[in-house]
């Protein structure tokens, strides 16, 4: 198994959040367009929350603390 670099792991989530925000909307109409936008919004929230996490090792477990306020 590869070694986990937590700082790089969290950076990848920040990069994914930025990529979701920057990508364009494909040529979709109606319900498909609404579903695509909703999925992108969820992706952005998920990736940005994890990307903002502070981490610690506690009892051989990786603990991510996600601030909910800016």
Confidence of residue 68 (pLDDT cuts 50, 70, 90): confident
Per-residue DSSP letter, 28: -
Tell me the β-bridge partners of 64. 55
Q: Residue 29: phi, psi to the nearest 5?
A: -130, 155
11-42 residue pLDDT tens: 999 999 999 999 999 999 999 999 999 999 99
Considering only CA atoms, give the Rg of the chain: 15
Which tokens go with 36? 């695509």
Per-residue DSSP letter, 58: E
| Model confidence, pTM | 0.82
- Angstrom distance (rounded) from CA 67 to CA 20: 21
Q: Are 30 and 37 in contact (CB under 8 A)?
A: no
């Amino acid at each position: 198994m590869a070694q986990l670099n937590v700082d790089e792991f969290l950076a990848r989530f920040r990069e994914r959040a930025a990529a979701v925000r920057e990508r364009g909307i494909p040529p979709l109409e109606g319900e498909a367009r609404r579903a695509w936008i909703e999925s992108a919004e969820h992706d952005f929230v998920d990736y940005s929350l994890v990307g903002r996490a502070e981490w610690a090792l506690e009892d051989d477990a990786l603990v991510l603390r996600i601030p909910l306020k800016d």
